[in-house]
Amino acid sequence: MANYGELTPVNIITGFLGSGKTTLLQRLLRSPDLTDVAVLVNEFGEVGLDHHLLQGVAESTLLLGNGCLCCAVRGDLQRALRDLLSRRTRGEVPYFRRVVIETSGLADPAPIAYTLLSEAVLRHHFRLSGIITTVDAVNGESQLDSFSESVKQASMADRLVITKADLSDEASLTALRKRLRNLNISAQILDSRDIDGDFSQLLTDDIYDAAGKFRETSHWVAEEVDEHASHTHTAQVQSFAAIFDEPLDWTAFGVWASMLLHRHGADVLRLKCLLNVAGVPTPVLINGVQHIVHPPSHLEEWPDADRRSRLIFIVRGVQRARIERSLAVFNDLVNASSSTARSRDRGDPVDPTSYRHGSSGFPLARE
């Protein structure tokens, strides 16, 4: 079976109605590094894509001149991806190395991500690479106030792309950026006007991409969110970073994460961790969506002198203090137990490579 990082990466491009998803996708697919991409579109209507006009059609697949595949996906992502995989295997379509799913404007990206990470067949061939959300500079604030779908789309993103900024003013843009940062502490926030030239990294960077994993984790910076910020319709969603000064025990972390996700998985919208694991010299990377966690990855070196573990949470209705306190208690208990065991037999209870094999016990994307 292929290494997890060698599976076909899948990106999700989402955003509320009229926020510019298709326009962004057009620009991305012009990159020379993204010519072997399959595109799944799960909405109807006429969509202009790289000088070709597409129409939402039944369950058919349309092969475009630039090598992209565009499919109408109507509530059956599993069947669409399986069919696409079978056709690639039989040579009926050009070989693609990445899939981009463009959602409808009212879509919740969580079920799509969950399908990729948990479905028995798909998870052995595809992996979730990243979620890109477009946000309308003019209407973004009101959409976040009025539509839970908009909040979910922004909260789950790895990249937030503000569109139509030329139609807004600087004060409004500043307020929108602050609002988005309060919702999502780890996402890279971009202005679509600044996306120029070859910006394929917007899609390709993730924790399994050898060239991009360092850039990706650089966005996982523990910025402090204004805890007093209050927005009527988004107060239940909060983003925060938990910092731990001492190395974490991998087994304790795994047991704790399993319990957290079992109890609150539906409300843990994103979990991103850069961990200092006891006995492991370089940082271990964790990326999760609701109940499911990607297999761990690692950096070859620490990005800076800071060796603290940084756990970034985007949660809905889950208390920050309870999360931080529970992990601290688990880690302290295991450390105390390990110290007692070492004093008896001088053995080393930590296997420095165990994290690579998913031995923590928490729900990985591949089992």
Per residue in 106-127, pLDDT tens? 888 888 888 887 788 888 899 8
Let me know how long the chain is. 367
Q: pLDDT for 239-258, tens place per residue?
A: 888 888 888 888 888 888 88
Mean pLDDT of all residues in the chain? Answer: 77
pLDDT surpassing 70 at residue 144: yes
Round the CA-based radius of gyration of the chain to a whole number and report it. Answer: 21
Asked if residue 159 lies in contact with residue 186, where contact means CB atoms within 8 angstroms, the answer is no
DSSP 358: T
Q: Report the amino acid identity of residue 230.
A: S
CA dist 70 and 96 (Å) reads 12
User: In whole angstroms, how far apart are CA 1 and each of 4, 7, 187, 366, 367?
Assistant: 9, 10, 31, 11, 12
List of long-range contacts for 325-330, beta carbons under 8 Å, 24+ apart: 326/256, 326/259, 326/260, 327/242, 327/244, 327/248, 327/253, 327/256, 328/244, 330/252, 330/253, 330/255, 330/256
pLDDT surpassing 60 at residue 52: no
pLDDT mean over 72-84: 71
User: Which pLDDT does position 342 carry in this prediction?
Assistant: 42
CA dist 248 and 107 (Å) reads 37
- Going along 115-192, which residue ranges are E strands? 126-136, 159-163, 188-191
* pTM listed for this prediction: 0.78
User: Which pLDDT does position 51 carry in this prediction?
Assistant: 28
> For residue 251, what are its two tokens?
């087994």
Q: pLDDT for 319-348, tens place per residue?
A: 888 888 888 887 777 666 554 444 334 333
